[in-house]
């Protein structure tokens, strides 16, 4: 029997600085560990913000349900939905602007600058592509159809209306989008190009760098040489799959590490990745696909360029 996909209820809290409230569905509690809503949220978030701060959020009326503010002493009810806004820590603004490459009633395709995360996560919340675009363009429902690594610049496709997101996500999932990247990296005439690299890449939680291991390949990248200048070269990179850090891993594995990569081949000391004068020389240069709604073939190209 197939499951029906229910549309999530509209959050009872407005966005703050382009960021949606956190939604929490209270899980089953077969052991009866949580007597109150407060007990569960302390267990869930107290390690990060402290039990006292959880209590303050209740006292300030910032934890709400569909019917209004929730009291800390309310009985625990599995399945109940709650919303709240996290505390936003100060973030260092990424100074680069966001370039608009294409815009219509459904799509917004932009050039994401280096060092800007695509979506709110971890320590990057308000200073993210989605939050900034929602604020700057007054598009509160904007959502990305895919993600681009924070250190990588270039094209990101966003949808203006949430109901259109699934169709474009399916294109990426089914590999119906031709992605083209460019990179500036070391040059070695002994490395024969063009070539297609296939390998097995694993990325462990909590470990910054991914790595190649023996086994059946789960990644594929086409690598082509475009231009040589001294000991550096410009490359065209065509990923056939989308593993984490795939292009960076494959280039490093060939002995051609991308210039100013803080992870490959050696993990740079903590904090060095935030040196804005040394961005990773990797650019999502092109996206090519057939629009699932109009049938129109689209070829989108970044307005950014890598200096060789």
CA–CA gap between residue 185 and residue 234 (Å, rounded)? 7
- The total number of residues written for the chain in this structure: 308
| 175-288 topology per CATH | Pseudouridine synthase (3.30.2350)
Which pLDDT score, from 0 to 100, does residue 68 have?
Answer: 96
- Reduce the DSSP state of residue 135 to 3 states and report it: helix
Domain 90-174 has CATH 3.30.2350.10: yes
Task: Give per-residue pLDDT as tens, 216-258.
Answer: 999 999 999 999 999 999 999 999 999 999 999 999 999 999 9
Question: Are 22-84 and 90-174 equal in CATH topology?
Answer: no
6 pLDDT band, cuts 50/70/90, is: low
Q: What integer pLDDT is reported at residue 31 of this predicted model?
A: 87
Residue-wise pLDDT for 42-100, tens only, equals: 999 999 899 999 999 999 999 999 999 999 999 999 999 999 999 998 999 998 999 99
Domain boundaries, the chain: 22-84, 90-174, 175-288
The rounded mean pLDDT for the chain is 94
pLDDT at 225: 98
Single out the residue of 18, 21, 38 nearest to residue 86, CA to CA.
Answer: 21
Give this prediction's pTM.
0.90
**Are the CB atoms for 108 and 100 separated by under 8 Å?**
yes
| Cross-strand partners of 196 | 222
Question: In this structure, are residues 234 and 183 in contact, taking their beta carbons and an 8 Å threshold?
Answer: yes
Beta pairing class for 22-25 and 143-144: unpaired
CATH code for the structural domain at 22-84 = 3.10.290
Give residue 270's pLDDT band: very low, low, confident or very high (50, 70, 90): low
Distance CA 144, CA 157 (A): 6
- Reported confidence tier of residue 275, pLDDT bands at 50, 70, 90: confident
187, 233 contact by CB (below 8 A): yes
- The percentage of the chain sitting over the pLDDT mark of 70, rounded to a whole number, equals 97
- pLDDT (0 to 100) of residue 54: 96
Residue 287 β-bridge partners? 179, 300
Lowest mean pLDDT among 20-34, 61-75, 227-241, 263-277: 263-277
Cα–chain center distance at 288: 20
pLDDT at 2: 42
What single-letter DSSP state applies at residue 66? Answer: T
108: which strand partners? 103, 158
Judge whether residue 4 has pLDDT over 60. Answer: no
Q: What is the mean pLDDT of residues 160-186?
A: 96
b/e map 223-241, b = 16+ CB within 10 Å: bebeeeeeeebbbbbbbee
**What's the burial of 123, exposed, middle or buried (CB within 10 Å: 0-12/13-18/19+)?**
exposed
């Amino acid at each position: 029997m197939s499951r029906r996909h229910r549309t999530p209820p509209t959050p009872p809290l407005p966005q703050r600085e382009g960021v949606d409230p956190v939604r929490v569905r209270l899980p089953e509690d077969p052991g009866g560990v949580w007597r109150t809503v407060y007990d569960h949220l302390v267990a869930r978030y107290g390690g990060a913000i402290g039990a006292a701060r959880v209590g303050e959020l209740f006292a300030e009326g910032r934890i709400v349900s569909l019917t209004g503010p929730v009291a800390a002493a309310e009985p625990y009810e599995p399945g109940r939905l709650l919303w709240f806004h996290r505390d936003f820590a100060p973030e260092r603004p990424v100074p680069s602007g966001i370039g608009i490459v294409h815009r219509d009633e459904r799509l917004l395709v932009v050039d994401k600058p280096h060092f800007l995360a695509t979506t709110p996560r971890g320590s990057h919340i308000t200073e993210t592509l989605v939050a900034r675009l929602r604020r700057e363009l007054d598009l509160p429902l904007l959502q990305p159809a895919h993600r681009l690594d924070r250190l990588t610049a270039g094209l990101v496709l966003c949808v203006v209306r949430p109901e259109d997101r699934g169709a474009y996500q399916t294109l990426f999932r089914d590999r119906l989008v031709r992605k083209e990247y460019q990179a500036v990296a070391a040059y070695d005439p002994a490395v024969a190009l063009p070539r297609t690299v296939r390998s097995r890449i694993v990325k462990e939680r909590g470990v910054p760098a991914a790595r190649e291991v023996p086994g059946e390949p789960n990644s594929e990248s086409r690598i082509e040489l475009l231009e040589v200048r001294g000991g550096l070269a410009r490359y065209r990179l065509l990923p056939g799959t989308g593993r984490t850090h795939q292009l960076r891993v494959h280039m490093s594995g060939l002995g051609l590490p991308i210039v100013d990569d803080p992870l490959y081949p050696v993990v740079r000391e903590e904090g060095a990745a935030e040196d804005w004068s040394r961005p990773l020389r990797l650019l999502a240069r092109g996206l090519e696909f057939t629009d699932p709604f109009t049938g129109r073939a689209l070829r989108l190209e970044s307005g950014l360029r890598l200096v060789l």
